[in-house]
């Protein structure tokens, strides 16, 4: 009711507002019309007066021309004094030339300039009557003037009078001093849309622009109007205005006035002030009266609804809660019959409430034990009997109407009335099937490897503990094994990690297929697997399983169109023969695994007690080496490398350890730690830095020595090796890059050939040389030399040391030297311990030597002194093999002859107690195994050897046996006498060989076939 009263007052106020608005509009429109008419009349009078004045001036000009004074100029200044509102006055000839002109202020002729008036002069000459042009701008900014033109009669020679009527602040001169209401604008508008005058001056447009606002639009829409009123947007100032305009009689002009909306609104607001205050006062008091009555009514209504609301809210809350919770809810009466089901219970049971209401709960709620499948007592019956809250046991499942099974958890509670009697039971349960599945999955993931599905280390160790306990009780063996794949890293790097993952899955499958049903295979990490074999009878059973397992893993694996062949190494320990705890058993199996790898891989090995001691020693060595590295007790000794006829060409940097108690230790005392993952790079960086620093010192002293440094396989294959090398070279700029040689063992690149080759190529690009150390001891083939960017081959000392006694070692060295020379590689023989070794190597054209016969490794401080005293081992031109020049088509022949003669000299020295007896001299069949015997057997395939040579050779060995027997019997004089005969017999043998060589050169002799 009060709202209607308010609406009625609002409508009344609206009507009054509309009426007052119309009245204010009409009132202002009337005022503006009067003002515009007044402006139009004033403008017409002003322009009329000016027109008459100009007409008189024109007549005066014409009269002067008619009476013979055509060139007598008019006096514009005198006219301006009679017409002070004009700013400029000029007389223009018919040709457009200004005959006379005058002005004042900004409109002086010299300020204004003729160029600015050219357009107006042209317009004036075209007019036949008095003309008013659009305003023009003056020389001073924001100055405007209205051009006025009056023609001079053509009969008098033509021309025109041009005057400028200045506008001050845009106002027409005759309008000055008019009393105007505030915010009222005055304007004089041409029919063509140009403003002749506007006060205040336009802000958004200019006088020389055609107007497009509401006034111009209204004028264009009413071309013949005498007066009119309009309202709209004024483009001159960019705001809404209401205005009126009136025609200036006799001219194409309208004069007008306008006011802004704010002025009209202010007038309307003043007329609405009292009515608005009255209505507001009336509404204010009526509001409080209405509020009082309304409050009284609400209080009565509230008292009636409060009780009903509380009951409804309690019921609604219970129903919404049951319908929205995620748990299933069943309510029963005091007899255990179904009274209610929420939607979740209906979904799990497969029944609607209408189907089961009033039925016994057991009929629709069958529950079983998950393991035994036996029926479980209904918790509702227990609540009715015991009167307390009852929960279900774990591992309970509910069988729904359609036979589906749900793992559930529930509880049942009694519903009591105020006196404590049980009215019924509420049973709450929820589906935990997914929860139990996720828990099982998480338990599986926590104990199994994600990639292979095998038990992980945690589960493996748990089963190891269980099997260990069972083994002792059942008096059976338990085999604990660690298996590691050989070459898996290379396959992974070459074919990618996806392939590697698939390969590990295939390995796991093959292992499971090979194992017995009760065995355990687990993944320990990377490519390492653990194996448990419980209930083993004897070691033969373990060996059989091992053989089958290794054979299965050796089979080619084809994945993603790529085939890989791998092998495995396997280490075992057996409980209770090995009585360690689970951690110890696993460590022992790991030691056996390393023994299998050290034995050549692709095999299995059993743990022995010595392995544990060996590991302990290696750990002590590792700790000793790490301590020496930290304390800077790892130093370098340098062993010279010489060319027999060119002197010292370089040194090899060899690491030593300064032990506080044991003194200087050779690398053999700590070799196992040099390639350890924790130390390899640090030691490599130390060696590079010390060697380059010493090399820089020698180069500054004028010793242009090449320094060879040994780099471990692990450091070479480290991603940071090249960075370490570049940083070390940068720290020692005085050491030329080409004076550094990196030595790697021939077996090191086999670990990862592609990466090793790329790294060594990068070394060459830096200018650093590469040498293959210990060549011949690894598993590399000769084609290995073609693929690796090496410049030097170092023949291992194990071959060089025995070239005098063992013709097989001699043949190996000769083969390596020949092959390397044909490939353009430098060859250095290591292990040169005697002058005889140097002589023999010279015959093979291996002139770069290193060994104790030249010098032992020495500290850098001792090198300069040694260098001053160095003398070559073999003088140039010294030849101990007279027949050599007859057999130059075979470069090894001279070596065999030299070795033979060296062995004869050694044998004679042994008879005098000055040397050891050489091998293959007096043993049975020595004639076929000595150096000369091997050479003779080889040449027997090429040409017929004279019988005298064989006779001398056999007699030589017979004399050697006799002399040795005499020596062993203590008959020294007889032995020495036999030795003299042996020397004579050898001389005869050499002469026979020389003669045969001479005979072979004769033309009658058939050519000897090449040695293949």
- What are the pLDDT digits (tens) for 711-735? 998 899 999 999 999 999 999 999 9
Number of other CB atoms surrounding residue 262 within 10 Å:
14
Bridge partners of residue 92, in order along the sequence: 98, 160
Q: Which of 47-51, 450-454, 902-906 has the lowest mean pLDDT?
A: 902-906
pLDDT given at position 684? 94
b/e burial code for range 964-974 (CB count within 10 A of at least 16 → b): bebbeeeeeee
**Cα distance between residue 922 and residue 930, in whole Å:** 10
Which residue has tokens 């031109």?
A: 877
> Is the four-CA dihedral 212, 218, 221, 224 of positive or negative sign?
negative
pLDDT given at position 273? 86
Q: Is the pLDDT of residue 939 over 70?
A: no
Phi, psi values for residue 581, rounded to 5°: -75, 175
pLDDT given at position 715? 92
Q: 507: pLDDT confidence band, cut at 50, 70 and 90?
A: very high
**Contacts by 261-264, CB closer than 8 A, 24 or more apart:** 262/183, 263/28, 263/181, 263/182, 263/183, 263/184, 264/24, 264/25, 264/28
The residue with greater pLDDT, 248 or 487, is 248
Share of the chain above pLDDT 70, in %: 92
Q: Is the pLDDT of residue 936 over 90?
A: no
By CB atoms closer than 10 A (0-12, 13-18, 19+), residue 502 is middle
The residue with greater pLDDT, 847 or 256, is 256
pLDDT tens per residue across span 770-816 = 998 877 665 555 556 677 889 998 888 888 888 877 878 888 888 88
Q: Quick one: CA torsion of 903, 905, 907, 913, rounded to 10 degrees? A: -140
Q: 875: pLDDT confidence band, cut at 50, 70 and 90?
A: low
Share of the chain above pLDDT 90, in %: 25
Most confident of 97-101, 439-443, 549-553: 549-553
Bridge partners of residue 428, in order along the sequence: 329, 411
- Structure token pair of residue 442: 């998480």
Q: Is the pLDDT of residue 877 over 60?
A: no
Under 8 Å between Cβ of 208 and 188: no
By CB atoms closer than 10 A (0-12, 13-18, 19+), residue 660 is exposed
Under 8 Å between Cβ of 227 and 33: yes
pLDDT given at position 1008? 42
pLDDT given at position 940? 63
b/e burial code for range 619-641 (CB count within 10 A of at least 16 → b): eebbebbbebbeeebbbbbbbbb
Give the chain's end-to-end CA distance (angstroms, integer).
130
Q: What is the mean pLDDT of residues 806-832?
A: 84
Q: 111: pLDDT confidence band, cut at 50, 70 and 90?
A: low
**Cα distance between residue 456 and residue 446, in whole Å:** 8
**Angle, alpha carbons 524-525-529 (nearest 5°):** 45
Q: Which of 51-65, 329-343, 886-900 has the lowest mean pLDDT?
A: 886-900
**Cα distance between residue 507 and residue 454, in whole Å:** 11
The full 3-state SS of 865-919, as one line of letters, equals HHHHHCCCCCCCCCCCCHHHHHHCCCCCHHHHHHHHHHHHHHHHHHHCCCCCCCC
Q: What is the mean pLDDT of residues 992-1009?
A: 64
The residue with greater pLDDT, 988 or 75, is 988
* pTM, rounded to two decimals: 0.48
Under 8 Å between Cβ of 606 and 595: no
pLDDT tens per residue across span 398-439 = 888 888 888 888 788 888 888 888 888 888 888 888 888 888
**Cα distance between residue 12 and residue 427, in whole Å:** 68
pLDDT given at position 68? 60
Q: Is the pLDDT of residue 547 over 50?
A: yes
**Cα distance between residue 921 and residue 144, in whole Å:** 137
Q: Which of 15-24, 361-370, 423-432, 771-780 has the lowest mean pLDDT?
A: 771-780
pLDDT given at position 1004? 47
């Amino acid at each position: 009711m009060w709202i209607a009263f308010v609406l009625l007052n609002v409508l009344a106020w609206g009507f009054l507002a509309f009426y007052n608005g119309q009245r204010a509009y009409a009132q202002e429109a009337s005022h503006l019309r009067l003002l515009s008419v007044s402006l139009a009349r004033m403008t017409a009078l002003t322009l009329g007066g000016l027109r008459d004045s100009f007409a008189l001036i024109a007549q005066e000009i014409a009269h002067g021309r008619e009476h013979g004074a055509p060139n007598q100029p008019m006096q514009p200044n005198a006219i301006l004094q009679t017409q002070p509102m004009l700013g400029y006055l000029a007389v223009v000839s018919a040709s457009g030339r200004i005959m006379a002109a005058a002005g004042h202020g900004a409109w002086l002729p010299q300020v204004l300039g003729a160029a600015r008036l050219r357009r107006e002069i042209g317009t004036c000459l075209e007019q036949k009557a008095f003309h008013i042009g659009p305003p023009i701008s003056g020389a001073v900014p924001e100055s405007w003037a209205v051009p006025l033109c009056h023609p001079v009669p053509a009969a008098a020679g033509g021309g025109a009078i041009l005057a400028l009527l200045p506008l001050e602040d845009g106002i027409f001169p005759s309008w000055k001093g008019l009393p105007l209401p505030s915010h009222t604008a005055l304007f004089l508008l041409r029919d063509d849309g140009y403003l002749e005058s506007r006060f205040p001056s336009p802000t958004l447009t200019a006088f020389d622009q055609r107007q497009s606002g509401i006034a111009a639009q209204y004028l264009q829409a009413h071309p013949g109007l005498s007066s009119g009123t309009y309202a709209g947007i004024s483009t001159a100032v960019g705001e809404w205005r209401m205005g009126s305009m009136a025609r200036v009689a006799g001219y194409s002009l309208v004069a007008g006035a306008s006011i802004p909306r704010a002025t009209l609104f202010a007038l309307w607001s003043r007329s609405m002030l009292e009515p608005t205050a009255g209505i507001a006062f009336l509404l204010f008091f009526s509001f409080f009266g209405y509020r009082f009555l309304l409050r009284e009514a609400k209080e009565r209504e509230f008292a009636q609804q409060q009780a009903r609301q509380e009951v409804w809210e309690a019921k609604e809350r219970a129903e919404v809660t049951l319908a929205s919770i995620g748990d299933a809810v069943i309510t029963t009466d005091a007899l255990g019959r179904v009274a209610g089901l929420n939607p979740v219970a209906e979904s799990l049971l497969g029944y609607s409430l209408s189907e089961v209401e009033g039925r016994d709960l057991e009929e629709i709620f069958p529950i079983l034990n998950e393991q035994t499948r036996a029926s479980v007592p209904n918790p509702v019956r227990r609540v009715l009997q015991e009167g307390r809250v009852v929960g279900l046991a774990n591992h309970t499942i509910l069988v729904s109407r359609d036979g589906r099974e749900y793992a559930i958890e529930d509880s049942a509670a009694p519903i009591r009335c105020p006196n404590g009697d049980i009215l019924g039971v509420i049973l709450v349960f929820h589906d935990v099937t997914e929860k139990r599945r996720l828990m099982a999955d998480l338990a599986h993931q926590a104990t199994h490897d994600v990639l292979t599905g095998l038990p992980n280390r945690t589960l493996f160790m748990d089963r190891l503990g269980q099997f260990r306990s069972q083994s002792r009780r059942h008096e059976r063996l338990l085999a604990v094994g660690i298996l590691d794949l050989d070459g898996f890293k290379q396959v992974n790097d070459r074919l990618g990690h996806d392939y590697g993952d698939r390969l590990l899955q295939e390995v796991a499958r093959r292992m499971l297929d090979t194992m017995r049903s009760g065995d355990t295979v687990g993944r320990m990490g990377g490519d390492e697997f653990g194996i448990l074999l419980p209930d083993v009878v004897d070691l033969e059973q373990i060996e059989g399983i091992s053989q089958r397992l290794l054979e299965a893993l050796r089979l080619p694996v084809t994945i993603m169109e790529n085939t890989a062949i791998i092998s495995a190494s396997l280490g075992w320990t057996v409980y209770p023969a090995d009585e360690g705890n689970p951690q110890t058993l696993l460590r022992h199996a790991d030691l056996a695994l390393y023994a299998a790898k050290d034995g050549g891989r692709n095999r299995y090995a059993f743990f022995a007690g010595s392995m544990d001691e060996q590991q302990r020693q290696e750990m002590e060595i590792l700790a000793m080496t790490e301590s020496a590295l930290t304390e800077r007790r790892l130093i370098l000794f340098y062993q010279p490398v010489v060319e027999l006829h060119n002197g010292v060409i370089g040194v090899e940097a060899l690491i030593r350890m300064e032990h506080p108690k044991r003194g200087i230790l050779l690398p053999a005392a700590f070799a196992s730690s040099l390639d350890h993952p924790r130390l390899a790079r640090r030691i490599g960086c130390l060696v590079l830095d010390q060697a380059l620093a010493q090399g820089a010192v020698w180069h500054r002293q004028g010793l242009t020595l090449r320094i060879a440094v040994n780099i471990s396989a692990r450091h070479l294959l480290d991603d940071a090796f090249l960075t370490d090398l570049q940083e070390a070279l940068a720290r020692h700029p005085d050491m030329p890059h080409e004076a550094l040689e990196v030595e790697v063992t021939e077996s090191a690149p086999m670990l990862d050939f592609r990466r090793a080759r790329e790294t060594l190529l990068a070394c060459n690009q830096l200018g650093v040389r590469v040498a293959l150390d210990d060549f011949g001891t690894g598993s590399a083939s000769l084609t290995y030399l073609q693929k690796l960017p090496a410049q030097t081959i170092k023949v291992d000392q194990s071959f060089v040391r025995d070239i005098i006694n063992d013709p097989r070692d001699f043949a190996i060295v000769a083969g390596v030297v020949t092959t390397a020379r044909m490939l353009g590689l430098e060859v250095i023989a290591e292990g040169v311990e005697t002058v005889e070794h140097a002589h023999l190597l010279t015959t093979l054209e291996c002139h770069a030597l290193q060994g104790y016969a030249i010098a032992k490794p020495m500290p850098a401080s001792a090198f300069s002194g040694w260098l001053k005293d160095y003398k070559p081992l073999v003088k140039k031109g010294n030849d101990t093999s007279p027949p050599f020049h007859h057999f130059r088509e075979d470069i090894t022949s001279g070596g065999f002859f030299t070795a033979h003669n060296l062995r004869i000299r050694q044998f004679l020295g042994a008879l005098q107690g000055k040397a050891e007896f050489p091998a293959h001299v007096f043993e049975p069949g020595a004639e076929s195994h000595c150096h000369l015997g091997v050479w003779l057997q080889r040449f027997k395939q090429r040409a017929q050897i004279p019988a005298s040579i064989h006779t001398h050779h056999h007699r030589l060995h017979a004399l050697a046996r006799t002399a040795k027997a005499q020596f062993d019997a203590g008959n020294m004089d007889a032995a020495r006498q036999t030795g003299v005969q042996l020397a004579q017999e050898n001389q005869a043998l050499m002469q026979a060989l020389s003669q045969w060589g001479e005979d072979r050169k004769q033309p009658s002799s058939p050519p000897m076939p090449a040695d293949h």
